Amino acid sequence: MQESEKKDSLNSTFENLAEDDETRWIYNAQRQLNKFACELVTFRIDKGWNQKELADYLGVSQSTLTEYENGNYNISIDTLNRLASKIGLNVDICFS
């Protein structure tokens, strides 16, 4: 399969998933976690810090930070707001 065919197939799969309300909600929630994970990693790299240094700065364990950076953590809104503000982000929640 050509690279462009793989992308088209993947896009088609996501479009089909987006038609189902529950799947769309789960996909969007994970996308937001992944976005936050990217922000954490970018912040850490820009500071020249390792995970332990960022974890200490945020007041979490290194293993918890690893989960945050991997997007594998179900984070509360309060915790998300606290962590985001420490790295200079605002959290906007949108209901649609």
Please tell me the CATH code under which domain 3-86 is placed: 1.10.260.40
User: Could you tell me which residue, 24 or 57, shows the higher pLDDT?
Assistant: 57
Q: What is the pLDDT of residue 46?
A: 96
Could you say which DSSP state residue 88 is in?
Answer: T
When pLDDT is averaged across residues 81-89 and rounded to a whole number, the result is 94
10's CB contacts (< 8 A; 6+ apart) are: none
Give the range with max mean pLDDT: 12-16, 18-22, 26-30.
Answer: 26-30
Rg (CA), the chain: 16
Q: What is the pLDDT of residue 2?
A: 62
H or E element at residue 25: helix 21-47
CA distance 14 to 9: 9
Q: Classify residue 46 as exposed, middle or buried by CB count within 10 Å of its CB (0-12, 13-18, 19+).
A: exposed
Q: What is the pLDDT of residue 60?
A: 95
What global pTM score does this model have? 0.71
- Domain residue spans in the chain? 3-86
Whether the per-residue pLDDT at 7 is higher than 80: the answer is no
When pLDDT is averaged across residues 20-36 and rounded to a whole number, the result is 78
Whether the per-residue pLDDT at 44 is higher than 70: the answer is yes
